[in-house]
């Protein structure tokens, strides 16, 4: 039979380990949520970037279009 002090030390250690585990589970859940939010934000940023690039391509196309199709400058 183990002395009462050994049981107390074992129980104290078990409580400490359970506390650490609970803290780590909470931290992992928070990190998982943050990662999910970051992925959504990255996807929105990627969509926005693609839209801006498409607009830029359109503007470049219009800028370098056939000069004959452009109206004359205002001073003519």
pLDDT digits (tens, 9 = 90+) for 2-42: 677 889 999 999 999 999 999 999 999 999 999 999 999 99
Q: Rounded to an integer, what distance in angstroms lies between the CA atom of residue 46 and that of residue 66?
A: 32
Q: Is 73 inside a domain boundary?
A: no
Structural domain range at position 39: 4-61
Give pLDDT, residue 65. Answer: 79
Task: Compute CA 37 distance to the chain's CA centroid, rounded to the nearest angstrom.
Answer: 5
pLDDT in tens, 31-75: 999 999 999 999 999 999 999 999 999 998 888 777 666 667 787
Q: How many domains does the chain have?
A: 1
42, part of any domain: yes
Residue 71 belongs to some domain of the structure: no
Asked, for residue 17, whether it belongs to a domain, the answer is: yes
In angstroms, rounded to a whole number, what is the distance separating the alpha carbons of residues 71 and 59?
A: 17
pLDDT of residue 1: 57
Can you give the pTM of this predicted structure? 0.61
The whole-number pLDDT of residue 43 equals 98
Place of tokens 């970037």: 49
């Amino acid at each position: 039979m183990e002395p009462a002090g050994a049981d107390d030390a074992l129980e104290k250690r078990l409580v400490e380990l359970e506390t650490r585990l609970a803290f780590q589970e909470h931290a992992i859940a928070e990190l998982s949520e943050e990662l999910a939010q970051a992925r959504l934000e990255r996807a929105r940023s990627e969509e926005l970037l693609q839209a801006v690039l498409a607009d830029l391509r359109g503007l470049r196309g219009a800028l370098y279009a056939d000069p004959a199709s452009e109206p004359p400058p205002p001073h003519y």
